Copies of this chain bind each other. A is one copy, B any other.
């Protein structure tokens, strides 16, 4: 492609470092599509006549067909653009040499990569919604299952199983919202920017934008060819998504332990051990945690690479694709596995119930004292002393002898006497977003709509 200027060909060591076909091969469909749009624009600008354009369109289609079947798997071209151009020469002869008129690798690869992102964002969004829906379906079935809610890994207040699952569903709503913002910024078309200074052919960039489905055209060619903000931003959105899966995963690893036992993973989504015959391992959730670390690594590499580059294209940018592909692959392989594990896991309400300790009601004790006019801060301290006293005696709160309770505060025996059930406690938190049935039902309704959850009836048809 650039041999004319040099007396000797590139060394093997250079080629080994420089060639990117093994990575950017995945852009073949975008490269063909953008090249066809470019043909149309060149014809529109009078650079190609209609016959030439027709031949090039046909040739590019055949190149696409060859590549879609996985042909040229052993090709050793420098990159996918070179491969497509070489195949086009095979299809249409020297006419292929006109395709690159007014275009540069720099605007070409930026366009291909943005197209790839746009193509990938749809399926990604669907996978996130599907996981959200799976959480919501499990949650719908878990409204009446009570379990301890935790902060700092310690029992804090009783909550509904539905409520815990929904706490992991809402972050997915944010992920989808964030990805929609990313898409808006991805959809700026660089094609027509040339190498750095714009194209010497007066192509109609709005035409290109419409053909390729972009929102707008880039405003400065030097910026457009050296800009990879969109990759960094997509990687960040994937990092947060992966982080959300890691948080869900950590929680379910804990809950599927023998000691908690709140859920049991299905056989089809568990793994065993090569040595320990009894193991039922939550590998999926562990790998979800690891993928979050890995995706963060991809983001670090991408931003690190951009730092301190001048405007315009530098070869450093070539490394962007393997990072992006790695992170997107991680998301697309993790989401279905996590979803399957969530869909098929079996909650064990008996274990949840038996885990509830009466100290979970300590805040209710304080609240009751507040109802009697004790300032909260004092009531909190009294309830704390009550817990300590019961702990020292090795009894539950209600079992504490009345005189002992009265020593702490004269109202405490009464308060303890009318202390309600865990269900009562859960229903006390009626603010929007709280644990009460009404609040949880409202969340379920909103999320079923957001994730387009199909009812069992619908699903059956």
Q: Which of A399-407, A411-419, A431-439 contacts B (4 or more CB under 8 A)?
A: A431-439
Q: How far is the CB of A416 from chain B (nearest CB, A)?
A: 13
Contacting residue for A199 out of B240, B266, B286, B431, CB 8 A: B431
Asked if A239 CB lies within 8 Å of chain B CBs, one says yes
Contacting residue for A279 out of B100, B156, B304, B319, CB 8 A: B156
Total contacting residues, chain A, CB less than 8 A: 196
In the bound assembly, the distance between CA atoms of A444 and B336 in angstroms comes to 46
Asked if A281 CB lies within 8 Å of chain B CBs, one says yes
Q: How far is the CB of A39 from chain B (nearest CB, A)?
A: 13
In the bound assembly, the distance between CA atoms of A323 and B323 in angstroms comes to 12
Check A303–B239 contact: CB distance below 8 A: yes
In the bound assembly, the distance between CA atoms of A231 and B118 in angstroms comes to 26
Check B301–A293 contact: CB distance below 8 A: yes
Asked if A119 CB lies within 8 Å of chain B CBs, one says no
Check A154–B279 contact: CB distance below 8 A: yes
Q: How far is the CB of A370 from chain B (nearest CB, A)?
A: 6
1/0 contact trace for A250-273 toward B, CB 8 Å? Answer: 110110111110000011111111
In the bound assembly, the distance between CA atoms of A318 and B234 in angstroms comes to 25
Q: Which of A28-36, A67-75, A89-97, A453-461 contacts B (4 or more CB under 8 A)?
A: A89-97
Check B5–A278 contact: CB distance below 8 A: yes
List 8 A-B pairs, minimum CB-CB distance, nearest first: A198-B434, A2-B272, A4-B384, A297-B301, A97-B375, A198-B429, A293-B304, A97-B377
Q: How far is the CB of A253 from chain B (nearest CB, A)?
A: 5
A353-389 at interface with B (beta carbon < 8 Å): 355, 357, 359-360, 362-367, 370, 375-378, 380-388
Measured between beta carbons, the chain B residues less than 8 angstroms from A426 are 197
Check A433–B357 contact: CB distance below 8 A: no
Query: What residue of chain B has the Cβ atom nearest to residue A11's Cβ?
Result: B268
Asked if A194 CB lies within 8 Å of chain B CBs, one says yes
Check A314–B296 contact: CB distance below 8 A: no
Q: How far is the CB of A32 from chain B (nearest CB, A)?
A: 17
In the bound assembly, the distance between CA atoms of A9 and B271 in angstroms comes to 9
Measured between beta carbons, the chain B residues less than 8 angstroms from A1 are 272, 274, 377
Measured between beta carbons, the chain B residues less than 8 angstroms from A227 are 171
Check B5–A269 contact: CB distance below 8 A: no
Known: A185-B174, A219-B170, A275-B105. A286 touches B314 (CB 8 A): yes
Asked if A214 CB lies within 8 Å of chain B CBs, one says no
Known: A303-B243, A433-B198. A6 touches B319 (CB 8 A): no
Check A198–B257 contact: CB distance below 8 A: no
1/0 contact trace for A11-22 toward B, CB 8 Å? Answer: 101101110000
Measured between beta carbons, the chain B residues less than 8 angstroms from A273 are 2, 104-105, 151, 156, 195
Query: What residue of chain B has the Cβ atom nearest to residue A390's Cβ?
Result: B278
Asked if A181 CB lies within 8 Å of chain B CBs, one says yes
Known: A197-B429, A277-B366. 8 other contacts (CB 8 A): A5-B279, A16-B337, A198-B430, A200-B429, A232-B240, A293-B300, A297-B300, A297-B323
Known: A14-B284, A289-B316. A446 touches B3 (CB 8 A): no
Q: How far is the CB of A95 from chain B (nearest CB, A)?
A: 7
Q: How far is the CB of A418 from chain B (nearest CB, A)?
A: 15
Check B296–A316 contact: CB distance below 8 A: no
Asked if A81 CB lies within 8 Å of chain B CBs, one says yes
Check A315–B286 contact: CB distance below 8 A: yes
Measured between beta carbons, the chain B residues less than 8 angstroms from A223 are 166-168, 170-171
Asked if A137 CB lies within 8 Å of chain B CBs, one says no
Check B277–A380 contact: CB distance below 8 A: yes
1/0 contact trace for A137-161 toward B, CB 8 Å? Answer: 0000000000011111111111100
Measured between beta carbons, the chain B residues less than 8 angstroms from A59 are none
Measured between beta carbons, the chain B residues less than 8 angstroms from A350 are none
Check A254–B446 contact: CB distance below 8 A: no
Known: A258-B357, A271-B2. A243 touches B306 (CB 8 A): yes
Check A380–B9 contact: CB distance below 8 A: no
10 of the cross-chain contacts (CB-CB < 8 Å) are: A4-B381, A5-B280, A81-B274, A106-B275, A150-B312, A151-B281, A198-B430, A278-B362, A283-B315, A293-B307
